[in-house]
A and B are shown apart, each in its own frame.
Chain A
Amino acid sequence: MIGEDVFFLSVSEISRLIKRKKLSPLRLAESYLSRIERLNPKLHAFVTVTEDVAIRQAERAEKEQQAGLFRGPLHGIPYAVKDLFSFPGYPTTWGARPFQDQMFEKTATVIQRLEVAGAVLIGKCSMSELAGGPPTATATGACRTPWNLEHWSGGSSSGSGAAVAAGLVPFALGTETWGSIMTPSSFCGVTGLRPTFGRISRSGVMSLSWSMDKVGIISRSAADCAAIFDILQGLDPDDDATVKMPFRVTLTKARERLAGWHVGFVREDYSQWGSREVEGAFKQAAEILKSLGAHVEEVQLPAYDYEAIASTIIASEEASAFEPLVRDGKIDEIIDPDRRGEILGGQLITAVDYLRCQRLRKKMAFDFKELFKRYDLLIGSSTLQTAPPVSATMNEIFPGGNYLEAAENLLGLPGISIPCGFDSAKLPIGFKIIGRTFAESDIIEAAHAYQRVTRWHEKVPPL
């Protein structure tokens, strides 16, 4: 087996060792599998371990390594996916009781792309049921943050965040419709990239809201996110929303580029909605960006009822996506009663209301286009609190505030959540950098510049 420190190396560091034949992809995969076996009962991060696939893909990577063939930065790198990405031969449960035996013949496009890149699928991660709900609303038990096993890892990409943070896998895929990558990244102290809407294919991925769902990446650094994003992004004939846009990130020039950028920070009412310690860590992060040369100033978001608009759009689209549950009566198997009410009640939202919200969304896009003439980036706290106890209710976890989160998701803007400190309970704190549509390179470069001068993303949980 390999040393404990390898589990917390970045993708690029592991990749270098594989390329130089100093690390066997097969031994690496076996070591991760054994670590998962040891730690997963505490964390509930994995619902399925794809051991046979992992060994097969790792053996292939190893043979190629020995033959001097190197597919690129993900050659032999283990990874996991949220349990809403389809993969034949294994259940895709969507975290929900009615779908515990659900199987698909299709392989999700992103998994196909990662296979071509030489990555090794280790397993499928736990998630909130149908991508939403409180900690206990999942078919496999609340997923824990490795920083404190009594606390939630966040949702809905719960297992993806916990698995990366615990060193069970170097990176994992998740999805976000409204906060589902940012929240677990923040609660688990890892780096999460939510790309622009349409950048990464959702083919073979559970639909919650067709106009808002995005596939994203959770890893240990912004640099890792860049390498993985480069492989995943682009046009896919199986997802009509996808686009092909240039992606040129220059990490070596990240600091130079950040200097001179105008950064708007969104002030939150932490005393009402969050924690003063989160506020303190966010202010320090903003100061660091300033010290790197960015012009940071407070920004006012255009006045919209962001939450009402996002809620109505998602509730309408999910009511359609999950209509079969209503028609066949299986809705009663959904654990969270609020969620049952939303899917049932969503059947009754009028088309006029839905279209009104979509039209307000258009108006919002015009206003943000103006806003981004003055600012290159926006920053805010990823979550206003740290990881809550697993018994917490949604009202306790998300009492309000963070309207930027609804806005950035309605507008399909790219965002990255990065660790920026810990609270007095030693739980991680994250802040986010939001960019213009298709400006993934900007947010990654800014995050990388920050991570070059801080060490929060390198901290290891006490497991």
Chain B
Amino acid sequence: MNDMSRRQFAKTFSGSAIFLWCPSKDIGGALFTNEAGTQPEEIAGLVLTGEQHELVRTFMEGYNRMMSSAREIRLENSLPPAIQFVSPQMAREKK
């Protein structure tokens, strides 16, 4: 696998006319019009060209489809994220 070629993305991002962007995890699958799809871009402070908007739309459609099952998994409230940008050793070293 090539790092940023993610097969799942490539596989699912083939063009489609329907934009399934959902700004919240609770409304997965909601159908938005093309125009409504520009709102998240605006919220993110992006001003996109028509071609860029189309690329984003294709990406988000596949992404949303891909994430739909992952969003169904119930996670215990106490389960923390696995992000560790600083190793414990390095944290001690820097004190």
* Residues of chain A having any CB pair with chain B under 8 Å: 128, 130-134, 154-156, 176-180, 182-183, 198, 208-211, 235, 237, 239-244, 305, 307-312, 314-315, 318, 326, 331-332, 337-342, 344-350, 352-353, 355-363, 365, 393-395, 397-400, 402, 405-406
Contacts and interface: CB of A to CB of B under 8 A. Distances in A.
B30 interface: no
Nearest to B53: A344
B87 A243 contact: yes
Contacts of A346: 59
Contact of B9 (A154, A155, A240, A342): A342
B15 to A, nearest CB: 11
A212 B44 CA distance: 25
Interface of B: 1-11, 13, 21, 23-25, 40-41, 44, 46, 48-49, 52, 55-56, 58-60, 63, 66-67, 69-71, 73, 75, 79-87, 89-91, 93-94
Contacts of A235: 89-90, 93
A308 B8 contact: yes
Given A240-B86, A340-B52, A344-B52, A402 B1 contact: yes
Given A132-B2, A345-B55, A363-B75, A395 B70 contact: no
A344 B52 CA distance: 8
A307 to B, nearest CB: 4
A243 B70 contact: no
Contacts of A318: 4
Contact of B55 (A130, A132, A341): A341
B67 A348 contact: no
Contact of B81 (A239, A305, A361, A400): A361
A397 to B, nearest CB: 8
A349 B63 contact: yes
B69 A398 contact: no
A130 B4 CA distance: 8
Nearest to A132: B4
Most chain A Cβ neighbours within 10 Å, of B60, B79, B83: B83
Contacts of A128: 2-5
B78 to A, nearest CB: 10
Contacts of B79: 359, 362-363
Given A210-B85, A235-B90, A308 B60 contact: no
A438 to B, nearest CB: 11
Given A235-B93, A240-B90, A345-B60, 14 more contacts: A156-B2, A178-B3, A180-B3, A209-B3, A240-B86, A241-B86, A243-B87, A308-B70, A310-B6, A312-B70, A326-B46, A352-B25, A356-B71, A362-B79
A198 B5 contact: no
B87 A154 contact: no
B87 A240 contact: yes
Contacts of A394: 2, 5, 7, 10
Contacts of A176: 3
Contact of B24 (A326, A350, A355): A350
25 contacts: A128-B3, A155-B5, A178-B6, A183-B2, A235-B89, A239-B90, A242-B90, A307-B7, A308-B67, A308-B70, A314-B4, A315-B6, A331-B52, A332-B49, A332-B52, A337-B55, A344-B59, A348-B21, A348-B40, A348-B41, A394-B2, A395-B11, A397-B5, A400-B11, A406-B1
Contacts of A134: 2, 5
A245 B75 CA distance: 32
Contacts of A399: 7, 11
A211 B56 CA distance: 24
A312 B48 contact: no
Contacts of A244: 89
A360 B73 contact: yes
Q: Which of B23, B25, B84 has the most CB of A within 10 A?
A: B84
Contact of B63 (A182, A312, A339, A365): A312
